[in-house]
Structure 1
Amino acid sequence: MIKNRRELFSLHWTCASLAGLAFLAGCASTPSATQKTAGWIKDEVADSYVFGYPLVLMGVARDAAVGTDPGQAPINTLHHAQALPPVGTANPPQPSLDTLDSTGWLDVGAEPVIVSLPDSHGRYLDARVLDMWTNVVWSTGTQYATRAAGIKAQTIAFVGPGWQGELPKGVARVDVPTRNAWVSVRIQSNGPRDLMAVRKLQRAIRVAPLSVYAGDTRSASVTPPRSNAADAAAAAASGTPAAQIAGLDAKGFFSRLAQALQDNPPTPADPHALKVLSDLGVTPGDPVKLPDAAEAVGAGLADGHERIVTAPSNLLAANGWSWFGDGVGNYGPDYAMRAYAAYAQPGIGTKDDEVRAVIAQDSDGHALNGANRYVIHFEPNQLPPARGFWSITAYTRDGALGESAPARLAVGDRNGARRNRDGSLDVTVSSARSKSGNWLPAPRADLQLVLRLYAPKPQATDSSWQPPAVVRQ
Structure 2
Amino acid sequence: MDAQTLKQQIATAHEKARADEGYWLGMAAFRYGFPLLEMHRSLWEWHVDTSAPTHLGAINEIHHTPRRAEPGDTYFVTPIVDAPYSRTFVDLSGGAVVLAVPPVTDRYFTVQLLDMYTNSFAYVGTRMGDTTGGDFLPAGPGWRGTVPDGITRVITAPTPPRLPPGPRHDPRRRRPRRRRPAEADRPAPRRPGHPQARPLGQPARP
TM-score (norm 1): 0.33
**Pairing 1:313-392 to 2, within 5 Å after superposition:** none
The structure with higher relative contact order (CA 8 Å, sep 6+) is: 2
Q: Residues 55 and 197 of structure 1: is their aligned pair in 2 closer, same or farther, counting only changes over 3 Å? A: same
Matches within 5 A, 1:236-251: none
Among residues 139, 143, 168, which one is paired with 2:148 in the alignment? 168
Specify the SS of the correspondent of 1:95.
coil
The structure 2 residue matched to 1:64, chosen from 40, 45, 70, is 45
Q: How far is 1:113 from its partner?
A: 0.8
Instruction: Find the partner of 1:180 among 148, 171, 175.
Output: 171
Once residues 39 and 171 of structure 2 are traced to their aligned partners in structure 1, the CA distance between those partners, rounded to angstroms, is 9
CA contact (8 A) 2:109 2:177 kept: yes
- In the aligned structure 2, how far is the partner of 1:196 from the partner of 1:176? 35
Tell me: CA distance 1:43–1:73, structure 2 relative to 1, closer, same or farther (3 Å).
same
Judged with a 3 Å threshold, the aligned counterparts in structure 2 of structure 1 residues 86 and 158 are, in CA distance, closer, same or farther, namely closer
Residue in structure 2 matched with residue 113 of structure 1 by the alignment: 97
CA change 1:95–1:128 in 2 (3 A) is closer
Unaligned runs of 5+ in 1: 1-19, 25-35, 216-473
The residue aligned with 2:7 is: none
Per-residue deviation, 1:68: 7.7
1:81 aligned counterpart, secondary structure: strand
Mapped to 2, the partners of 1:165 and 1:132 lie a distance apart of: 22
CA contact (8 A) 1:68 1:74 kept: no
Partner residue, 1:131 = 115
Q: Which runs of 5+ in 2 are unaligned?
A: 1-9, 160-169
Q: Please show how residues 12-411 of structure 1 align to structure 2 within 5 Å.
A: 37-67=18-48, 69=50, 71-85=55-69, 88-140=72-124, 143-144=126-127, 151-171=131-151, 172-178=153-159, 179-190=170-181, 197-198=190-191, 200-202=192-194, 205-213=195-203
Q: Which has the higher strand share?
A: 2
CA distance in 1 between counterparts of 2:65 and 2:81 reads: 12
| Structure 1 residue 192 displacement after superposition | 7.3
The 2-side partners of 1:211 and 1:145 are apart by 25
CA distance in 1, matches of 2:156, 2:30: 27
Note closer, same or farther for the CA distance 1:79–1:133 as it changes in structure 2 (3 Å cut). Answer: same
How many correspondences in the alignment?
177
State the TM-score, normalizing by the size of structure 2: 0.71
Q: Secondary structure at the match of 2:30?
A: helix
Q: Distance between the aligned counterparts of 2:21 and 2:173, measured in 1?
A: 35
The CA distance in 2 between the partners of 1:121 and 1:214, in whole Å, is 22
Deviation string 1:314-360 (CA, Å, 9 cap, x unpaired) is xxxxxxxxxxxxxxxxxxxxxxxxxxxxxxxxxxxxxxxxxxxxxxx
User: What is the match of residue 274 of structure 1?
Assistant: none
